[in-house]
Amino acid sequence: MGVAKKQAVRNKQAIIAAASRVFRERGVDGVGVADIMLEAGFTHGGFYNHFESKSDLAGQVCAAAFADGLSDLKSVVDQSLATDPRAFRRALENYLSKGVRDDPGQACPTATFAADAPRQGEGMQKAYAEGMQGFVDTIEQYFAQRDGLSAPVARERAMEVLVTLVGAITIARGVGAAAPRLSDSFLKAARRKLPD
């Protein structure tokens, strides 16, 4: 069809964005390449102009999702340290909300890609591990700076927070459709356990 280079780059990002959403909703194994391309507004043949394979895409999707998530997290952390000390806590509570639970397509990759990562290729495993590392580092630094904690203590707290977030949202989604009230109580219990 003839497409400008800049447009091609934008199209690739649109494919990644579409895949990012449907992968989180239905799992990497639950969507086909043709579905993804259709969601992005293209026919499926062009896929291999942008990606080596579906597995390659999965890795790039995971990396991009973590990059977005980390950038969001960093601005929340900066905001908390500078002007609005409650911003961090608010972000955690928002993560454990019904809205996030019921819309995995938009949600943080920590939970949505956790199950796919070990089952997909090396690229996705690496992206997931590096992404989690970035989250741990950022939260660790936040706790260290805010509460004057030593690095190891702050690090452990950061990991505890991530464990609570991922555990609660994972369970809440798992029981969600069949037991909505149980699902809500898991979110509530986890919210109450969060640090300030």
Partner DNA sequence: TGTACATCAGTGAACGCGCGTTCACTGATGTAC
What residues make contact with a second copy under the rule CB under 8 A? 26-27, 29-30, 110-111, 113-119, 122, 125-126, 128-130, 132-133, 136, 155-156, 159-160, 162-168, 170-171, 173-179, 182, 185-186, 189-190, 192-193
Q: State the binding partner of 168 from DNA, a second copy, none, CB within 5 to 8 A by kind.
A: a second copy
Q: Please classify residue 43 by burial: count the beta carbons closer than 10 Å to its beta carbon, then call 0-12 exposed, 13-18 middle and 19+ buried.
A: exposed
Q: How far is CA 133 from CA 4, 14, 25, 136, 192, in A?
A: 37, 26, 24, 5, 25
Q: State the binding partner of 125 from DNA, a second copy, none, CB within 5 to 8 A by kind.
A: a second copy
- In whole angstroms, how close is the CB of 123 to a second copy at the nearest point? 10
Select 6 or 181, whichever has its Cβ closest to DNA: 6
Contact residues toward DNA (CB under 7 A) are: 1-8, 11-12, 31-35, 37, 42-50, 53-55
Q: Please classify residue 35 by burial: count the beta carbons closer than 10 Å to its beta carbon, then call 0-12 exposed, 13-18 middle and 19+ buried.
A: middle
Q: Please classify residue 27 by burial: count the beta carbons closer than 10 Å to its beta carbon, then call 0-12 exposed, 13-18 middle and 19+ buried.
A: middle
Select 17 or 166, whichever has its Cβ closest to a second copy: 166
- In whole angstroms, how close is the CB of 162 to a second copy at the nearest point? 7
Give the containing element (helix H, strand E) for 15: helix 5-26
